[in-house]
Amino acid sequence: MSGAGLYETPGGAGESRENRLKRLSMRSMRRGIKEMDIILKNWADASLEELDDEMLTLYDRLLSENDQDLYQWVTGQVSAPEEFAALIEVIATHAGAR
């Protein structure tokens, strides 16, 4: 984090919490497969505002994962990597997949 309320983005520029939430929300609905658009956007709308900085960073990293992998993790077809397991469980429960 650089400065009060600013977050480092990959390009190095600071990002306000408000802009970070908007960016993560958009990335949640602009996925490769429609199922993940729906699952992640619904969860993001209900949950992003409540996440602390550490969880937002984890969710940001999760959004960089392949949609096919994400779908298999959320639906329980394949176990999620340990780093994402708890977050995937929360998302899957919200989606009614568990």
Domain presence at residue 5: no
- Measured distance CA(72)–CA(80) in Å, rounded: 8
- CATH, residue 75: 1.10.150.250
Has residue 64 been placed in a domain? Answer: yes
pLDDT at position 4 is 47
Q: For 11, what's the count of Cα atoms within 13 Å in the CB-facing half-sphere?
A: 3
Residues 96 and 44: their CA atoms lie apart, in Å, by 15
Q: Examine residue 9 and state whether it is found in any structural domain, yes or no.
A: no
pLDDT at 11: 39
- pTM of the predicted protein model: 0.84
Mean pLDDT in residue range 71-98: 96
pLDDT digits (tens, 9 = 90+) for 37-83: 999 999 999 999 999 999 999 999 999 999 999 999 999 999 999 99
Half-sphere exposure for 32 (CA within 13 Å, toward CB)? 9
Q: Is residue 58 part of a domain?
A: yes
Q: Give residue-wise pLDDT tens across range 5-21.
A: 555 554 335 899 999 99
Residue ranges making up the domain that contains 90: 17-95
Of the two residues 4 and 34, the one the predictor is more confident about is 34
For the chain, give the number of residues: 98
Report the number of distinct structural domains present in the chain: 1
- Of 32, 96, 5, 20, nearest to 58 by C-alpha is 20
4 located within any domain: no
